[in-house]
Structures are given as C-alpha cells and as structure tokens.
Amino acid sequence: MKDTGTLGAGPGGNTARTNGAPDEVETIRLWDPLLRLYHWLLAIAVVGAWGLGKFGPNVMTLHFWFGYAVLGLLAFRLVWGFVGPQHARFGNFLYGPVSIGKYVVHMVRREPSYWRGHNPLGGLFVFILLGLLAVHAGLGLIADPEDYINAGPLAREVSMATSRTALAWHATLGWAVLGLVILHVAAILFYRKWKREDLVRPMITGRKTVRKAG
C-alpha cells in the first residue's frame, strides 16, 4: 500500500500539481486494450442490469444474464489486477489514507493532475465499486422473491430466510450502485470542466498525457 508523507507518492513520481510545461509531461500508452474493453463492457452490463431490474419485464431473464456478465467481468478484473500490465494491477493504485487525503486537499486546483494511472481517490473508488458490484451481484444469485419465476440460480442452496434477506439487500444496494455510477459521471465532468483533464479519451485510445517519471 502506497502511503507516503509527500503528494508525489504515485508511480513515476506523480504530483497533483504541475504547470503542464512541455518538458514536464508526456503522452504515453497507459491503459491496455483488455482493460479498456472490460471497462466499457462493465459499464454496459451494469447499466443494463440496473435498468432491467428496475424497469424491465416481470420475467427477469435478461436481468439475470446481464448480472452474469457483471460477475464474469469482475472475475476477469480480479485476475487482471494481479497479472495484467503495470497500471492495471491493484498494487499500482492501492494508496493509504495519507496519500488519499493529500490528493483530496489539492484536487480542487484548477489544473490537470497528469497522474500515471488511477490517482489515490480514483483508486479508492475502483475498490469500492468492484466490492459493491461483487456483493450486489452475488446476492442476486441467492435472492428469491417467491414468485416461482425470478429466483436466483443458487437460491435453493440457502434457507428461505436467507434468500429473502438477500433479495432485500439486493434491492437496497441497487440504489447504492446507481449512486456510485452518478458519482463516477460527476467526477468525469469535474475533471473535464474544472481541471481541464479528459478522462474518457484515454479509456478509448489507451493514451494519456501524464507527468514525466522521476
């Protein structure tokens, strides 16, 4: 876990402040193709599952399939977090409270951060989102609304009380997932409008302008 007393604790000597002079930044290939594909597929699967769960047909077969897709993508991310390229690995954006706090203090500056990979706050968000999605989708596997149609595939493996509790929590956490999605979009807009930093294009092209290493 990265947790240092200086703001430049990130890989390659990141800092949250730079004037963006040409000799201080460079454009590099940062996000690998599989990570980018995973990112967009997860976005589609999460939005699709949520929408079908709240507004879809009474028979929730499609909702289940989108949920399975979320679980499959999370499984990939778990593996890629250990064996993928440098910036995809969990250890690359696992920061301690000191680094996160220092980044938060300075993030309001109206200038790009040029961070290599996920910044400390973004890294924390990734862990929270992945954990919430795993719990939410996992609960869906054992949820049973007792309608004989929409029971999760593993509902029979647990008691009725457990499956009903899972159903209630699955519904509640669905709103938490929506909240994180909205927060994610708000952060993208904040970086684009306030810090003049585009976070979307790098996740499409893989290339990002970052502060030069060391």
Q: Is there a contact between 113 and 119 (Cβ–Cβ < 8 Å)? A: yes
Structure-block tokens of residue 108: 């309001």
pLDDT on residue 12: 39
Cβ neighbors of 188 (< 8 A, separation 6 or more) are 199, 200
d(CA 56, CA 91): 38
pLDDT for 18 equals 42
Mean pLDDT is lowest, of 5-19, 102-116, 176-190, for 5-19
Distance CA 46, CA 38 (A): 12
| Contact yes or no for 100/121 (Cβ under 8 A) | yes
Spell out the domain ranges in the chain: 25-211
Radius of gyration of the chain (CA): 20
Report the CATH number of the 25-211 domain. 1.20.950.20
Decide if pLDDT at 83 tops 60.
yes
Task: Output the pTM of the full model.
Answer: 0.88
Q: Are 175 and 182 in contact (CB under 8 A)?
A: no
User: How far apart are alpha carbons 205 and 211 in whole angstroms?
Assistant: 18
Give yes or no for residue 6 having a pLDDT over 80.
no
Q: Which of 82-91, 105-114, 169-178 has the lowest mean pLDDT?
A: 105-114
- pLDDT category at 148 given cuts 50, 70, 90 is confident
Give Cα separations from 201 to 17, 31, 36, 40 (angstroms): 21, 11, 11, 12
Tell me the C-alpha distance between 170 and 159, whole Å. 16
